[in-house]
Amino acid sequence: ITLLGEHFPTIRWFSFTDFRIEGEYAYFVTLEQTLAEGAWWRLLTPIFLHFGLLHLAMNGMWYWELGRRIEHRQGASMLLGLTLLFGLVSNLSQYLFGGPGIFGGLSGVLYGLLGHCWLFQKLAPDEAYRLPPGVVVLMLIWLVVCLSGAIEVLSFGTMAIANAAHVSGLVAGCVTGVVGGLLARRARR
């Protein structure tokens, strides 16, 4: 419905804070104004924004790959809860560290799911929960490449990466993975 990031009236509704465009400039309202106006949905809706078919396809593939493992082992309610938690943490972090702007995607949630699966599996191993070899390494290498700024340089400044969302999602996922893994290990005993 955003025409892959091209339809600004719809993007305005899904963005973390509202904005208006005048000429070549975008003017954003503050988070405080956003929440005072009762627009609480904005804390989560950037996870539904995608800026291109490849962005949407890659996020969808990784959500399916990681989410199905959590759904199988811990249930759909846990997957939904983790998605909402990681979405909130990553969106808020991106706003706080990156400032007002248009950002979106499921990457912060995906890094959260990765951290959760990775450490949960380490503490409470289960064959059905095991990630394919190299997935964690690949995702961590991609995170470092994004943090390096190489993607912005190679795209000639047309694409910004929400690094704060990625890192905070990963940290939050590692925390939930440790807590969940320890609880699962204790329940087995």
Where do the structural domains in the chain lie, given as residue ranges? 46-188
Q: Counting every residue, how long is the chain?
A: 189
Tokens of 31: 């988070």
Q: Per-residue pLDDT tens for 132-176?
A: 879 999 999 999 998 998 877 776 555 678 999 999 999 999 999
In this prediction, residue 120 carries a pLDDT of: 95
Q: Tell me how far apart the alpha carbons of residues 165 and 167 are, in angstroms, rounded to a whole number.
A: 6
In this prediction, residue 155 carries a pLDDT of: 66
Q: Give catalytic status of residue 155 as yes or no.
A: no
Query: Does domain 46-188 sit in CATH 1.20.1540.10?
Result: yes
Q: How far, CA to CA in Å, does 144 sit from each of 125, 141, 162?
A: 27, 5, 13
Number of Cβ within 10 Å of residue 126's Cβ equals: 13
Please tell me which residue in 55, 107, 116, 168 is annotated as part of the active site.
Answer: 107
In this prediction, residue 136 carries a pLDDT of: 92
In this prediction, residue 64 carries a pLDDT of: 96
Q: Which of 106, 94, 111, 112 is nearest to 48 (CA)?
A: 106
Tokens of 141: 């290498």
In this prediction, residue 103 carries a pLDDT of: 92
Q: How far, CA to CA in Å, does 83 sit from each of 12, 14, 50, 89, 143?
A: 22, 17, 16, 10, 19
Q: Tell me how far apart the alpha carbons of residues 159 and 167 are, in angstroms, rounded to a whole number.
A: 18
In this prediction, residue 157 carries a pLDDT of: 55
In this prediction, residue 126 carries a pLDDT of: 84
The phi, psi pair for 21, rounded to 5°, reads -110, 125
In this prediction, residue 158 carries a pLDDT of: 54
In this prediction, residue 156 carries a pLDDT of: 53
Q: Tell me how far apart the alpha carbons of residues 168 and 96 are, in angstroms, rounded to a whole number.
A: 11
Please tell me which residue in 50, 55, 116, 166 is annotated as part of the active site.
Answer: 166
Task: Please list the ranges in the chain whose pLDDT falls under 50.
Answer: none
Asked if 55 contacts 105 with a C-beta cutoff of 8 angstroms, the reply is: yes
Q: Give catalytic status of residue 166 as yes or no.
A: yes
Asked if 92 contacts 40 with a C-beta cutoff of 8 angstroms, the reply is: no
